[in-house]
Each structure stands twice: as C-alpha cells, then as structure tokens.
Structure 1
Amino acid sequence: MTTVLIEELEPESADAGVAAHYGDPMREQRTLETAVGLVDRSHRDVIAVPGEERAGWLHTLTTQHLSGLRAGQGTEMLVLSPHGHVEHHALVAEDGTTAWLDTEPGAGAGLLRYLEMMRFFTRVEPRDATAEMAVLSLVGPEAAATAARMLGADLAEPRVREVPGPKFAAGSVPPEPTALYDVRLFEGGLARRVPLGVDLLVPRTGLDAVVARLAGVPKAGLWAYEAVRVARRIPRLGWETDHRTIPAEAGFVGPAVHLDKGCYRGQETVARVHHLGRPPRRLVLVHLDGVATDQPPVQGTPVTLDGRQVGFVGTAVRHHELGMIALAVVKRNVADDARLTVGESAAAIDAG
C-alpha cells in the first residue's frame, strides 16, 4: 500500500505527520461515505485534565455545560476571548478519572496555557498528553457497528440539540451538554461516538496493537476525511475561523455552545448575537466551477462579489461526487444566489 504523507504534498501544512492518502483518495472518500474506513488523526494535540473538580472548573471556563459531565460522556467546547471571539475548540471524552480534550495540531499549547492560568486553587492537574495519546477515527455509516464488533465498544447515537430561537425562555435549554457523545472504554483505549463515526483515543504505546485489531478496516487518508467533513459542513478551528470569528458565524453554536448556562468569558457577545439573530457572517458550502483551474484554493483565499471581498475560503477539497467544493465564511447579507468568485473560479452557494 502506498502511503503519501501530507508534508510530501503540502510542506507547510499544519496537518503534517499523517497520511494524505494511500494511493487512491477518491476511492477512500467513497469508502468513508458508504462503508467505513480508518483515518490516522494522530497529529491532533491532546490535553488530559484529571482532578476531582475538573467538570465544574471546565464548566466555568468554556461555552459548554459541563458541570454534570459523567463518565462515559463526551461533547464539544469552545474557549472565547473576552470579546466573544473563538480562541479554542476541543472535543471532550470523560472516562471517570480524567477529561480528555483533543484539539487541532499546534493548538494544544495555547489551550493548556490558558487552563493553567485559570487553575488558581482548583483541584485539577491539566497536562499536555499529546505524547501519551493518539487519535484515530473510524469514519462512515458502518463505524459504530465496526467499533462494536472489533473493539467491543457498543456506542449510542450522538445527540446534538437543536439551537433555540432568539428570545427563548430562560430555563428552556436543559442543564446538560448540547452535544452528547457516548464514550466507552475498550481494551487499549477510549472510543467516542461523534457525527462522522467513532473517534478512538489510544495510548501511543499501544497504537500498533489497536491498528492490528482493526486490520480488516480499509485505511483512508486525511484528504478523504476532510472531503467528508466539508460536505457535511462541519467547521474546523483555524480553517473556518479567523481572529474575529464568533461562534454563531462558523456553525459552532449547536454542538459546542450552551446558550443558558450562566457567565463565562465572551458570554455577553454570544447572548447578544443570538438574541438579535444577526451574526455578521455565516458559514456556507460553495461549489467551485474548476474551469480556470482544477487546484482547490488555499485557506484564506478571498471570496468576492462584484469585485469586493465578502468573505474567505476555509477548507477547499475535491469531492468524488460534488467536484471542487469549499467551506467559506461570508457576510450575512450575501444572497444564496449571488455570483461569487474565489481566486480564478466562479463559485455558487449551496443553500441545501
């Protein structure tokens, strides 16, 4: 099997260290969308938060309702700036002794610095666990069945609550995480059910053994994973965000923001924007015509309308069915039928 690493194709990519593909990225995409594939995401940073006060402490620092997080539960969370801009995003898995936070490659150090700064006298001991734990992902409609059959991890469907409308009644949002992801221990690691499949948090010392147990599952590279993520309109920190992104602009409110949990840093901005119902920008899926070039635009490429910039491209991919597509953040008042330009390509918003 040919393994092509991300850095061989994109030397400056933050995703260096894992496979871009294994020889046929389009076939790998089809596998992830129709069956199940194993994706190496071991470049993600991991932070461990043990300590008896971890749930309540994380609850006060983040956008998510975490005070009652129990063993066997996972979710998502954000850390915001005082002005409500997205600074950090992490997925959470609670095993009963430790809350495991996995985040984007290179983002863990900043998140850990913030957590350490906010410890004060709280009984928690956050640490960088990237050298201890690696993330693998089973992706596709057969992911949960595969985890149950091959790892003994029987996981319930993920549940993400609908975002309440503006001016919702106080107390109408249940006091629990807005996204609940089932978490199970298995021999060799931790499994967490998520919308794209099942994430596995595995000790690096036992990584080869877990991969060997999953030897019957075809491997898929990060290119295939990203194509599926983009088609599902799932945002990624640092790709669909910039220094002034607020949660409502990038699609983070549903899975990562509890709108009725009390004070946290940046909460005023979140509440004001939600109750007005008018975020300055919005996340959209765009189709690129690919006539002038068949190369996907790089992250940050301007989206223009009649010669003026109205947004930027986050992640752009070649999709096996949809062609060249991208997630973009554009001004709220850009119409769904606007004739946009991205680099050399004409672009159209997919309003579906």
Structure 2
Amino acid sequence: MTSPFARVPGAVTDESGLRHLGNPLGEQRALASGAAVAPLGDRAVLAVPGEDRLSWLDSLTSQALTRLAPGESTELLVLDPHGHIEHAASVLDDGETTWLITDREDAEPLLSWLRKMRFRLRVDPRDASEEYGVIGGTRAGLSAVRPAEPTGVLLVWTDPWPNVAAGGYAYAVASSHPGAERDWAEAVVTRAEEERIADAAATGELALAGLAAADALRIAAWRPRRSSEVDDRALPHELDWLRTAVHLEKGCYRGQETVAKVHNLGHPPRRIVALQLDGSDSVLPAPGDEVVVGENVVGIVTSAALHFEDGPIALAVVRRSTPTDAQFVVRTSDGDITAAQEVIVPPEAGATADIPRLPRLGRRAG
C-alpha cells in the first residue's frame, strides 16, 4: 500500500510508512509538545466483535479484560506455554467491538492464532487495516485528528505506560522514571481521514512527524515494543512489561505458570537496560549489535535513536548476571561505541524482591 503521506513535501517513506520529513530532531520536539502528529504506518488494526469477545480475550491473554469499559485503554500479551512473548497488542473496546492495535508484521500471525482459538464462542476477529489506519501523538496533538467512532465511542488508545496498571508490578529501579511525563495516544482513523490528514500536511495546515521521531520518544521512555525488544526467548519480566501488560491476579491463561514462578520464586534470565552512547563519532548501533564487557558478549541492542534532548540512546537486553556498574562497548559495523548503562530491570527482579530505588543518570548537558 502506497503511503498517502509520500506527497507531503520533504517526506521520506519506505515500506513501513513515513520515516521522517527531513528534520527528525525537530519532529521529535514537535511531537512531544503536541505540535505535530505521527502517521503510524507500521501498525495494523484488528477488530474483534461478538458478545463473548472480552471474556474470550481474557482467557487467552495476560490481561484482565472481562470488565474493560468502553473507551478504556490497556494492553495484552499472548504467551507461549513457557511464558515467552509471542504477540502484543494495545486494547480498546467500544461496547460492541474490541480493537487491537498491533505491529503490522505481527497482525497476520496474531489474527491467525485468534481465529484458531474461537471454538464455538461468539467472536469473529478480522483484520480491519484496509478500513483503518493509526495516528499517534499527545492527547492534545490528536485534537487535530478525527478518530473513528463506529458506535459513538472515540477510538483513541491512551498509552498506560509507565503507570502500574491494576494487577501489574514495576521492576524499574529509577526513582524518577523517564516515561513518567510521557503523553502518548494512538487514534484509529478511517482511510478517508488519513487522506485528509495527508492533504492538510501537504498544504502546511497540519504538522507531521515521522516514525523515527515516534520511536525515539518511545526509547527515551524505556517503553518496550514487540517488534524491537522481543525475541523467541523474551519474558515479560525482562522488559518491565508486568507494569502494564500483565495482570498477576487474574485467572488461568497460557504461560501464566511461568509468569507466576519467575515473579514469585525466581529471576528472569535477562534484563533490559538503557544505554547512553558515546556520540563523538556520530554512529548509532543497529538492532542486534552485540553489547560486550571486556571480551565477553553480554547482550544485544534492541533499539537505538538520536534523541533531541538525550543525544544518542539505546535499549539493550543483557544477561541478568551482568554487573550493574559494568562499562559497555557496543560493536557496530562502523566501529565500537562506549556506552554507560542505566538499570531498568535490576538483577534482583523476580521473587517479589524489595528493590531499592536508584537515582537516574543525569541528562547530557546541552
């Protein structure tokens, strides 16, 4: 599908959508302040209508959904029998249909699995991406957008991160979470509205930001994403995702036993960290680049960006045993980059540890 935003002056697009418009740092600033919105072409929209939809999704996923009110936002994970993350989705219900916003690459696998799990229940999940797109931004920024409202409930998902949802648990040790003031929402819009937004941007009536800007703000907020931080071994605990995507007190679902055991009795084998990268050579690592301590590979970079305030930053997943004061080196195709780690999930995570709160690393002087 050709992006309608390709016609906006300065637009750089690829198969995922609008990457940027020539000024990624300025776009980040505008997006964070509510002066711009971001077309999220790398998202897909699944619709799950039917009387049994909420209890059905509740029984299959990590989130408690049976009492989800129309317009209320949450998120869910689908786990394998060993507790590893298979799928993730943002969740919004309008009273008749539950809407799932997913990474586009995960939409077909998730839909296929959901359809196999219907049995005789009154649910009919489908891909609604031909009808709907997704626009992201602050809640104030999205006032320039007309969300879909098929039942009179505006389809605007408000990101719960990093607040600890009911039944959730936070592992991050920082006394001041960098996402605490994060203001992020995603509006489901008709394709006709998407065209209107593109036309308004092309004439200068509406400011846009690209996917690169949206991702930089996500990384700075330590916000995990399935397409970036998740591999076939990932546990929710490793990414601090018990915060918003797992309800520890709900009924049985696939993978629940592992979730409970790791949280109550054990420790996740890996942990997510934030990296402040040496920017002297203007090199950013790519996802998959190795993180080393001395000569030992201890993990990999999952996401990286040049942030408009924090400079070059990244998220990485490393072994739990990696010392929290270790100095990292990231091996890239353009040379090594030194990196200071900031602990997100500490080695003590799990076993419902009483984890001390630590001060954050200071922001770079501007």
Q: Give 1:113 deviation, angstroms.
A: 1.1
Residue matched to 1:76: 75
Q: Does residue 273 in structure 1 map to residue 262 in structure 2?
A: yes
**Selected match of 1:324 from 309, 312, 321:** 312
TM-score (norm 1): 0.82
Q: Give 1:32 deviation, angstroms.
A: 2.3
User: Which structure has the highest strand share of the two?
Assistant: 1
Q: Does residue 349 in structure 1 map to residue 332 in structure 2?
A: no
In structure 2, distance between residues paired with 1:300 and 1:156: 30
Q: 1:205 to 1:151 in 2, by over 3 A?
A: closer
Q: Give 1:335 deviation, angstroms.
A: 2.5
Q: Give 1:206 deviation, angstroms.
A: 3.2
Q: Give 1:205 deviation, angstroms.
A: 3.1
SS at match of 1:304: strand
Residue matched to 1:64: 63
Residue matched to 1:121: 120
Residue matched to 2:11: 3
In structure 1, distance between residues paired with 2:295 and 2:157: 48
Q: Does residue 107 in structure 1 map to residue 106 in structure 2?
A: yes
Q: Give 1:131 deviation, angstroms.
A: 1.2
Q: 1:244 to 1:263 in 2, by over 3 A?
A: same
Q: Give 1:96 deviation, angstroms.
A: 1.3
Q: Give 1:341 deviation, angstroms.
A: 1.1
SS at match of 1:238: helix
Q: Which runs of 5+ in 1 are unaligned?
A: 8-15, 165-172, 179-193
Aligned length: 314
Percent identity over the alignment? 40
Give the 5 Å matches for 1:148-163.
Answer: 148=143
Letter in 2 for 1:17: S
Residue matched to 1:242: 231
Q: Give 1:105 deviation, angstroms.
A: 1.7
CA deviation string 1:212-256 (max 9, x = no partner): 678744211111111111000001113111110000001211110
Residue matched to 1:311: 299
Residue matched to 1:21: 20
Residue matched to 2:54: 55
**Selected match of 1:145 from 120, 132, 140:** 140
Between stretches 147-156 and 224-233, larger displacement belongs to: 147-156
Letter in 1 for 2:242: V
Letter in 2 for 1:28: E
Letter in 2 for 1:338: A
SS at match of 1:268: helix
Letter in 2 for 1:262: G
In structure 1, distance between residues paired with 2:84 and 2:268: 12
Residue matched to 2:220: 231
What value does the CA root-mean-square deviation take over the aligned residues? Answer: 2.7
Q: Give 1:50 deviation, angstroms.
A: 0.4
Residue matched to 1:257: 246
**Selected match of 2:321 from 328, 333, 342:** 333
Task: State whether residues 19 and 40 of structure 1, in contact with CA within 8 Å, keep that contact through their aligned partners in structure 2.
Answer: yes
Q: 1:68 to 1:213 in 2, by over 3 A?
A: farther
Q: 1:22 to 1:144 in 2, by over 3 A?
A: same
Q: 1:36 to 1:300 in 2, by over 3 A?
A: same
Task: State whether residues 288 and 346 of structure 1, in contact with CA within 8 Å, keep that contact through their aligned partners in structure 2.
Answer: yes
Between stretches 223-232 and 65-74, larger displacement belongs to: 65-74
In structure 2, distance between residues paired with 1:341 and 1:347: 6
In structure 2, distance between residues paired with 1:102 and 1:230: 19
SS at match of 2:227: coil
Task: State whether residues 71 and 155 of structure 2, in contact with CA within 8 Å, keep that contact through their aligned partners in structure 1.
Answer: no
Q: Give 1:42 deviation, angstroms.
A: 2.6
**Selected match of 1:300 from 288, 310, 313:** 288
SS at match of 1:90: strand
Q: Give 1:317 deviation, angstroms.
A: 0.8
Q: 1:226 to 1:92 in 2, by over 3 A?
A: same
Task: State whether residues 79 and 87 of structure 1, in contact with CA within 8 Å, keep that contact through their aligned partners in structure 2.
Answer: yes
Q: 1:71 to 1:195 in 2, by over 3 A?
A: farther
CA deviation string 1:125-156 (max 9, x = no partner): 00111111100112xxxx32344576597989
Task: State whether residues 148 and 154 of structure 1, in contact with CA within 8 Å, keep that contact through their aligned partners in structure 2.
Answer: no
Residue matched to 2:355: none
In structure 2, distance between residues paired with 1:161 and 1:228: 13
Q: 1:77 to 1:133 in 2, by over 3 A?
A: same
In structure 1, distance between residues paired with 2:162 and 2:307: 29
Task: State whether residues 150 and 213 of structure 1, in contact with CA within 8 Å, keep that contact through their aligned partners in structure 2.
Answer: no
SS at match of 2:140: helix
**Selected match of 2:187 from 190, 200, 204:** 200
In structure 1, distance between residues paired with 2:128 and 2:237: 30
Q: 1:155 to 1:56 in 2, by over 3 A?
A: closer
Task: State whether residues 147 and 154 of structure 1, in contact with CA within 8 Å, keep that contact through their aligned partners in structure 2.
Answer: no
Give the 5 Å matches for 1:175-186.
Answer: none
